[in-house]
């Protein structure tokens, strides 16, 4: 009987410790959440706007960055090469 009582006492002590550790974890979690809420204060939008480069263009409607480069097809590239050759020939003749 005494062996069983000792085991049950030690088991109950372990259960209490486990509960206490759970409670501590919950308290720590609440403290972290409160700290995060205190840290997250309203931020001025102008700080974020300064980070953007002034040379980049953004759409007024969507706010997305406007792409300035146009993808060229094979025909466009060939046309550019022919134009460059023509300009070189005309410049050399003068």
pLDDT digits (tens, 9 = 90+) for 11-58: 677 777 777 888 888 888 888 887 777 666 676 777 666 665 566 788
Query: Could you tell me the pLDDT band of residue 2, with boundaries at 50, 70 and 90?
Result: low
Alpha-carbon span 6 to 19, nearest angstrom: 20
Alpha-carbon span 35 to 29, nearest angstrom: 10
**What local confidence, expressed as pLDDT, does residue 40 receive?**
65
**What local confidence, expressed as pLDDT, does residue 68 receive?**
82
26/1: higher pLDDT? 26
Query: DSSP per residue over 2-66, as a string?
Result: HHHHHHHHHHHHHHHHHHHHHHHHHHHHHHHHHHHHHH-----HHHHHHHS-TTS-B-TTT-PBP
In DSSP terms, which residues pair with 65 in a beta bridge? 58
């Amino acid at each position: 009987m005494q062996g069983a009582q000792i085991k049950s006492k030690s088991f109950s002590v372990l259960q209490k410790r486990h509960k206490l550790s759970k409670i501590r974890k919950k308290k720590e979690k609440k403290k972290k959440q409160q700290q995060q809420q205190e840290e997250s204060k309203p931020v001025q939008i102008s700080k974020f706007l300064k980070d953007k480069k002034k040379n980049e263009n953004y759409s007024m409607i969507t706010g997305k960055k406007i792409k300035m480069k146009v993808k060229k097809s094979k025909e466009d590239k060939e046309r550019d090469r022919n134009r460059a050759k023509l300009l070189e020939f005309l410049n050399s003749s003068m």
